[in-house]
Each structure stands twice: as structure tokens, then as C-alpha cells.
Chains A and B, each alone.
Chain A
Amino acid sequence: MTIPLNDDAEMAANATFEALLQQHAGIVLKIAYTYSRTKEDRDDLGQEICAALWQSFARYDRSRPFATWMYRVGLNVAISQVRRARTRDRPSLSIHHDAIDIAAAPPPEPDPRLSALDQFIQQTDPLNRALLLLYLDERSYAEIADVLGITETNVATKISRLKQVIRRDLSVANETAR
């Protein structure tokens, strides 16, 4: 149960939350990028994640790392949204990494590495996508295990398999490009 806060305490909690959110904003943006295809979807998902973070913040155990807690909430929201979207049979749109840019920013040069990354992310199922995101973010096996709720041994096995799939897919892509 959430303990009601007085105005001062609530303002302090708001300020703490916003400071932590700002400090770790990259996590929200990367999760939104990994689980959405268009800019609008990314904005929506980012908002959903921020809302869920704010809602869960009262129960956040401050003895644990904020980033781990944030990954858990963000990935749970994102995976749930992907599953809801699948149930609704939303039409899939092709992805373009340029779409994440805000209109005011100059369009960057197309990066073939990002296109390959996008393609690989989108063909991976939601749970393995979470694993991929944490792996690419260079999180430790212990932290990945803590976020996902599986053992470190299982994380090691899955990452090993994931690496094999990445190597295989990238080599196929390289062959095709030649």
C-alpha cells in the first residue's frame, strides 16, 4: 500500500524522481526504440514507461540500483505493449532509424550498421529482445539475470546462442550485400 504524502514530501519525491529519470533517460529512450517501429509509437511507449515508473516509484527500494529497477519497469511495459499490439493485429510498418529524429534536427547520414541492427531487433521475439538490449548495453550477467528473473547460467547460455544467431545472420547479410 502506498503511504499518502504531504505536499512537501510529494514535491521532494517528484524532484527526486525527475532527477533520477533525467539521469537515466537513455534507458527509457533505448527501450522505446527497441520495442517500437515509428516515431509516434516510440513517443507513446516512452510516455507509458514514464507513467509506469512514476506509479511504481513509491515502492522503489532505494538500496537497489535505480537503473536495474528502471529496466524492469520499462521492459515489462514495453513487452506488454508489444503483446497487446500483436493481439490487435496492427499493420506492421517498415522501420527507418531516421524516423526517431525530431523535425528540428538535421537528418543524419543513413547508417547501414543501424539498419542492420534495426532489422535484427525487429526479427527477435520480445523476451530475447530484452536480453539483446541488456547485452548491447554491456550490463553484467548478474544484472541481466536480476532484471529478467532468470539465473546467470541461463543468461550465459542465451547470450551465447544470441551471439551465434547474430554472427550467422550478419554473415548471411554480408553475403547478400556482396
Chain B
Amino acid sequence: MELEELKAAWKSLDQRLAQQNALTFDLLKSQKTARARSALRPLILGQTVQIAAGVVMCLWFAPFWVKYIEVPHLLISGLLLHAYALMFIVLGARELHIILHIDYAAPVVAIQRQIAVLRNWRVRIGSIFAVTGCFIWIPLMLVILRGLGADVWAKNPTVVYWFIINGFAALGVVLGIIWWSRRGGALRLDDETAGRSVRRAQAAIEEIARFAHEPPHGAIAP
């Protein structure tokens, strides 16, 4: 079989697809609006909720650390949670901005690079959230318990040490799951947080770079 036969096969496929066109096209058109909504909504909604949660957290934690500015452990707890809330807002806003500005009508290489960079960034951010999540509940517990009238660190610091040990244990579990997932273990992690996804996202960026790479002058093969 020669190259021309491949082209002839493509033409025959074109004709067959054209014959089916009338049958399939109504189906394609009928669901277009619903699909357009469903494709973007979860992404936009997810980031909007994240930003809103960050704002609520800021409004809660800022007055807290201001109130306890003289009490170091409560000040640090409040500041850590405030920083975490700011991270929520900034990362959510950045992702929302990128999602809303992806224009599929732009050239393929540019958009695929943009999407690959976004995916790469998301999986790395997912890891940051997973790691910080192992510890951020500790200052949160101190703040909540203070709100309920108990200053755990002042009354019994051993409890806080136990919290920290538990944080490291959770971190060990998270790292273990990521390691297992990288080795293709039976447990299926959410791909957004798995280390394997980082490698895939990075591989996609490299694949696009190779494709877009300009050949040296005069390198056209006959």
C-alpha cells in the first residue's frame, strides 16, 4: 500500500462520513447548548467556591490574630490560617483567570501549551494543598478551641505535640500514597494529586515544545 492509497482511503472515509452526516448531525446540534454549559460550569464553580471560602476565612482569621496580637501562639495560628486563606484566594483566582481566558479558536500549539502548563500547575498545587493540609488543621484546632474558651497550648501543650505528631503521620500517609501511585499500585488516587500526573503534565509540555521546535535552516528532508 502506498501513500496515495492512504489518501484515497481518507477520501473514501470522507464520503462515508458525509453519508452519515444527516443522521448524526441533528444529535450533535441538539445537545450543543447543554454541553456548553456542563463543560465549563464545574470548573468555574469550583474555583468560585474556593475564592469565596478564602474570603470568608480571611474575614474570620484576620480579626482573630489582631485580637490576640500579644499572645504569640494564637498570633502565629491566626497568621498561618490567614496565609492559608490568602493562598486559597490567589490560587483560585489565578486558575479561574486562566480557564476563562482559554480561547479554543487560537492556534493549536499555543492553546495546548497553555492547557498543559495549567494542568502541570494544578497537579503541583494539588500536592502543596495535600502537604499543607496535613498540618493546617493544627492551628485551626487551636483557634476553634480558643473560640470555645479553651487555650489548649497554655493549659496542656502535650496535646499540641500530639497534634504535630499526627500531622507528620498524615504527611507520611500522603507521601506513601503518592509513592504507591507512582509505582502504579492498585490504589487509584485522584489523578489531580498524584505524582504520576505531574510527570504526564510535564511530558505533555515537552511533547508540545518538540512539536513547535523550529527546524534548523535548510533541514527539510526530501
Residues of B within 8 A of A146 (CB): 107
Listed from nearest, the 7 A-B pairs whose CB atoms lie closest are A149-B107, A113-B9, A51-B35, A51-B36, A136-B10, A149-B109, A29-B17
Pair B1/A174 contact, Cβ less than 8 Å = yes
Contact A111 B12 (CB under 8 A): yes
In Å, the complex CA distance between A123 and B214 comes to 23
A binding-site residues for B, Cβ under 8 Å? 18, 21-22, 25-26, 28-30, 33, 43, 46-48, 50-56, 59-60, 69, 72-73, 75-77, 79-80, 83, 86-88, 97, 100-102, 104-105, 108, 111-114, 116-117, 120, 125, 127-128, 130, 136-138, 146-151, 153-154, 156-158, 160-161, 163-164, 166-167, 170, 173-174
The SS class assigned to the B binding surface is helix
Tell me, yes or no, whether B158 is within 8 Å of chain A by CB. Answer: no
Q: Find out whether the CB atom of B109 lies under 8 angstroms from the CB atom of A150.
A: yes
Given A50-B32, A87-B200, A105-B19; A113-B5 close (CB under 8 Å):
yes
Determine if B28 and A47 form an interchain contact, defined as CB atoms under 8 angstroms apart.
yes
Which one, A47, A97, A111, A112, contacts B31 given CB within 8 A? A47
Cβ of B149 < 8 Å from any Cβ of A? no
Residues of B within 8 A of A130 (CB): 108
Bound: A148/B107 CA distance, A: 5
Q: Is the pair A154, B215 in contact by a Cβ cutoff of 8 Å? A: yes
Task: Please tell me if the beta carbons of A149 and B108 are within 8 angstroms of each other in the complex.
Answer: yes
Q: Which of A69, A138, A167 contacts B105 (CB 8 A)?
A: A69
Is A29's CB under 8 angstroms from B12's CB?
no
In whole angstroms, how far apart are the Cα atoms of A77 and B102 in the complex? 11
Chain A: minimal CB distance from B41 (Å): 12
Is the beta-carbon distance between A46 and B220 smaller than 8 angstroms?
no
With CB as the reference atom, state the residue of chain B lying closest to A59: B105
Query: Quick check: A30 and B14 within 8 Å, CB to CB?
Result: yes
B1, B6, B40: the one within 8 Å of A136 (CB): B6
Query: In the bound complex, how far is the Cα of B103 from the Cα of A72, in angstroms?
Result: 10
Q: What CA separation (Å) do A167 and B222 show in the bound complex?
A: 13
Chain B residues with CB under 8 Å of A69's CB are: 105
Which residues of the other chain, A, contact B110 by a CB distance below 8 angstroms? 149
- Closest Cβ of chain A: how far from B87's Cβ, in Å? 25
Asked if B3 contacts A102 (CB within 8 A), the reply is no
Cβ contact of B32, chosen from A54, A111, A120, A154, cutoff 8 A: A54
- Are the C-beta atoms of A163 and B3 separated by less than 8 Å? yes
User: Do A117 and B13 touch across chains, with their CB atoms under 8 A apart?
Assistant: yes
Pairs across A and B, CB under 8 Å, 15 listed: A18-B29, A26-B17, A30-B13, A56-B104, A60-B105, A76-B108, A113-B6, A125-B207, A128-B211, A137-B10, A149-B108, A150-B107, A154-B213, A160-B221, A173-B1
Q: Does B148 contact A (CB under 8 A)?
A: no
